[in-house]
A and B are shown apart, each in its own frame.
Chain A
Amino acid sequence: MAHKLDVLGLFDNEYREDGFRTCSVTGLEVHRSAENHIKLFGLTAVVALLYGGIFAFTVAMTRWEVIGLLEPGAFYTHLSLHAWNLLIFWMVFMEIAILYVGGPMVLGRRLPFTKIAKAGWLVMAAGAVLVNYAIWTTEAPNEAPLLTAYVPMPISPLFYAGAIVFILGTVVAALPFFATMWFEKRENPGKTLPLVSFAAFVTSIIAVEALVGGLLAFGPALLWRLEIIEWWDAAWYRQMYWIIGHGTQQINLVAMIAVWYFVTHVVAGAEVASEKISRTAFILYLFFINLGAAHHLLSDPAVSTGWRIWNTSYAFYGATFASLIHAFTIPAGLEAGRRKRGKGGGLFGWLTSAPWSNPVFSSTIFSIILFGFLGGITGVMMGQLQLNMTWHNTFATVGHFHGTVVLGTTVAFMGLVFFVIRTMFMRQYISERLAAIQPYFYSAAMGVAVLMMMYVGILYGIPRRTAEVVENIPGTEFSLSAAAPLFAVFGIFALLAIAGGVLFVLVAVGSLVFGDRVENGDNADLVADGGLGMAQDPDDPVHAYEMRGTFVLCLVFLAAFVITYLLNWYLLTQLWSIGA
């Protein structure tokens, strides 16, 4: 029965008397309470994506100075809105939804304490609205906060208050997830969690660490702005801020990897090549990944060299090693699983025979590839103490995090939204063809735009966060106009990428509103070849299947990694002598 407010019929799936239904694609027992809250948080995330995406256009068209759309004042406001709505609100609402998938849905449980979940949503939404309001109403002497709101820049206290409210709301919204885990372990003390649930649990712990950092940064900053405390140290703020600033991006990363395991399994028959190895990688994340917050302090005065080297390397590259593990285990699981299903002739037959016209699958694979090659490798580059001097605060940094958060996380989450439209909202796409091409179009265009951001940053030293620097620097003859041709490429591909983003919203929202209802059996095309039951045959272990295609792909990846590393170091050694 649909609720009277549910005019679009988005929350009206049929459940049995006990409140559960069996998903025809995943075979999971899905409870009404879990499903409806996943939808609530997921839909809110898409609203934030749509809203923040509008500013992608205005920001990119200002940075492309030939267009020069906005005046500096408006530019910083739009940049702040772009950052907070996409990097924080789109991601975090989606991640709460993913926690509810990884927890209650995968475990076949109901979502406990639904009132707390709703209260969390309300507080998060209030925080998000407050942050947006504070940014829109920024008045002199206050400045727009951008993402970082660095002390001692005068920034509206309302902004810090909104950020704190949002953080608290997120913690509240995560509580029903923690309760689910608690109940599950109490009832089944000897049972191992499924890998996706385990990954979601690791994500949630990393998230809590990040959120605590946020309170330590924004709390005192708010008190300082209200003149309750006298001075709030710039270096201390930076260190606390980046616990959340970088930590939230690590939540994105780990949640995204959980989605990779989930989706490759469900729609393409991937299996877990080794539970031991994959889980160890998540444990490495748990211990080491948040040390990566130090990446932002490498070219800073206040932290010691030893501190910087230890933390930036995640303690001897513990988290990089973990990512290298997933870089193998996910494609290997796909390769071995598909070979087992008779879909893997030759070196790459498992890949060429995969369901490439299914946007759920293609989004996921593009996310894996582009995150690795563009986001991951560059992250390690700029995370090296010395190379950081050539990346810090340049447009290349912006390229890096569009490689991780857009090409990686956003593309993966778009794939997940496509999946949820079919399997939870029970709607057909309004256009199969548009849905099928969207991941190709968006990923390709965004990929080129991201590469250009990196090139102009590294090769021409274009700074980030400025409205004008290529065509003209006010007050001097000097300019960085040599970068103009690459900026033209950037501008064109940014426009194409934005068109790809619009296409996503059109297909997603269009399908929800106008899509035909999925009837019994309509989702059969989503099910992986051979069905998911094959993953549970103990006499046919997946690790015994060939993984040579994956091995070759991983060697290509490692070669790209090494070459990029050498090029970056070559550029650095061309510089004059710097530092003690």
Chain B
Amino acid sequence: MTSPIKPPDGNWWDQPVNRRESIWLGLGVGWSLILFGWMSAWTRVGDQNPIGETFRVEDEEFREKLTDYKERAEETDDGLVPPEQDVYLQAMRFQWDGAPVVLETGTEYDFHLNSMDVQHGFSLRPEDALSKQINLQVLPGYEWVVPMTFDEPGTYHIICNEFCGQGHRSMHGTIVVEEG
């Protein structure tokens, strides 16, 4: 009785399983464990992880940090040069406050990401290699500190990739990375 629209009768649980089906089950279990193991191991040994400390933060609180940071940063034609390794970026309809910013290769920066209003998307890529791109969600009420170390100099473009309103498509910023 092997119709999917009739109740199986007798002891269907103890029916033998085709040998090739058993082999496939073994392959499936193995592949599942590889998928899990690799992803898990990469958080310890890998260089690319969407992991960083998160803090709850009030809008004004982050605004104050950002203002203080901007005052201490050096203003150049290309953008702000951060005073230390912290880089503050606040998304708001429809701009990235804190950008443009000038950084160096080889230095680990802590990006502090926050939104002042609605949800935004932090989507970053160097100008000359579009396939190198990463995307992070930016939420109001949260400060996400994500470390990044750039190894190639160049102009990196931030575009917003979470729908944030009618001007969404114009929400753009730049990070200029210079040889460090």
Query: Helix, strand, loop or mixed for chain B's interface?
Result: mixed
**Nearest Cβ in chain B — how far from A58, in angstroms?**
17
Least CB separation from B173: chain A residue: A476
Measured CA separation A577–B51 after assembly (Å): 11
Q: Give chain B interface residues in 1-20, CB to chain A under 8 Å.
A: 1-10, 12-13, 15-18, 20
Is B169's CB under 8 angstroms from A389's CB? no
Indicate which residue in A262, A266, A392, A483 contacts B137 across the interface (CB closer than 8 Å). A392
Among A143, A385, A538, the residue within 8 A (CB) of B49 is: A385
Comparing B68-76, B82-90, B123-131, the segment that makes contact with chain A is B123-131
A525 within 8 A of B: no
Q: Which residues from 265 to 280 on chain A have a C-beta closer than 8 Å to any C-beta of chain B?
A: 265-266, 270-277
- Interchain CB contact (< 8 A) of B48 among A483, A543, A573: A573
Nearest to B113 among chain A residues (CB) is A301
Q: Which residues of A contact B148 (CB under 8 A)?
A: 576-579
Q: How far is the CA of A235 from the CA of B115 in the complex (A)?
A: 12
Residue contact A298 to B170, C-beta cutoff 8 Å: no
Q: Which residues of B contact A336 (CB under 8 A)?
A: 18
Give residues of chain A (396-454) contacting chain B, Cβ–Cβ below 8 Å: none
A259 CB, min distance to chain B CBs, angstroms = 11
Complex Cα spacing A215 to B146, Å: 33
Partner of B17, one of A276, A309, A459: A276
- Are A309 and B40 in contact (CB-based, < 8 A)? yes
A427 to B47, CA, bound (A): 60
Tell me which residues from 536 to 580 in chain A have a Cβ below 8 Å from any Cβ of chain B.
Answer: 536, 538, 541-545, 547-548, 550-551, 554, 558, 561-562, 565, 569, 571-580
Contact A460:B130 (CB < 8 A) given known A548-B20, A580-B147:
yes
CA distance A305 to B39 in the complex (A): 11
Kindly state the separation between the CA atoms of A566 and B6 in the bound complex, as whole angstroms: 43
A193 within 8 A of B: yes
A276 with B28: CB separation less than 8 A? no
| Residues in B neighbouring A460, C-beta threshold 8 A | 130-131
The minimal Cβ–Cβ distance linking A350 to chain B, given in whole angstroms, is: 14
Out of B49, B113, B170, name the residue touching A580 (CB < 8 Å): B49
Q: Distance in Å from the Cβ of A126 to the closest Cβ of chain B?
A: 27
Within 8 A of A (CB), among B125-180: 125, 127, 130-144, 146-152, 157, 159-166, 168-170, 172, 174
Interface residues of A in 316-331 (CB under 8 A from B): 316-318, 320-321, 324-325, 328-329
A195 interface residue (CB < 8 Å to B): yes
Contact A317 B48 (CB under 8 A): no
Give chain A residues whose Cβ lies under 8 Å from the Cβ of B132.
Answer: 571, 574-576
Task: Mark out the residues of chain B between 47 and 61 whose CB falls within 8 Å of any chain A CB in the assembled complex.
Answer: 47-54
Q: Which residues of A contact B25 (CB under 8 A)?
A: 277, 325, 328
Could you say which residues of chain B place their CB within 8 Å of the CB of A536?
1-3, 6
B118 interface residue (CB < 8 Å to A): yes
Q: Answer whether residue A509 sits at the interface, using C-beta atoms and an 8 A cutoff.
A: no
- CB pair A274–B131 under 8 Å, yes or no, is no
Q: Is A506 an interface residue (CB 8 A)?
A: no
- Could you tell me the distance in whole angstroms from the C-beta of B130 to the nearest C-beta in chain A? 5
CA distance A143 to B169 in the complex (A): 14
- Taking a contact as CB atoms under 8 Å apart, the answer to whether A384 and B54 are in contact is no
Cα distance A571–B40 in the bound complex, in angstroms: 18
- Neighbouring B residues of A320 by C-beta, 8 Å: 32, 35
User: Distance in Å from the Cβ of B54 to the closest Cβ of chain A?
Assistant: 4
Contact A152 B118 (CB under 8 A): yes
Q: A463-B161, A469-B159, A579-B51 are in contact. Are A235 and B150 (CB under 8 A)?
A: no
Given contacts A309-B43, A380-B35, A390-B134, contact A143 B24 (CB under 8 A): no
| Chain B nearest CB, measured from A558 CB (Å) | 6
Given contacts A299-B135, A390-B133, are A271 and B2 in contact (CB under 8 A)?
yes
Q: Does residue B21 face the partner (Cβ distance < 8 Å to A)?
A: yes
Contact of B20 with A551 in the complex, beta carbons under 8 Å: yes
Question: Can you give 29 A-B contacts (C-beta < 8 A)?
Answer: A28-B5, A72-B168, A73-B166, A106-B5, A143-B166, A192-B12, A194-B5, A233-B141, A276-B12, A301-B136, A302-B142, A305-B49, A309-B39, A317-B35, A320-B32, A389-B134, A459-B130, A461-B125, A463-B123, A463-B160, A466-B168, A473-B159, A475-B170, A475-B172, A561-B31, A576-B148, A576-B149, A579-B48, A579-B147
**Extra pairs beyond A466-B163, A473-B169 (14, CB < 8 Å):** A76-B163, A150-B163, A153-B118, A192-B8, A192-B9, A272-B3, A301-B138, A385-B42, A460-B130, A465-B161, A466-B168, A543-B21, A576-B152, A579-B50
Shortest beta-carbon contacts, A-B, top 10: A461-B133, A301-B144, A463-B161, A579-B49, A317-B32, A535-B3, A324-B28, A195-B4, A474-B170, A271-B2
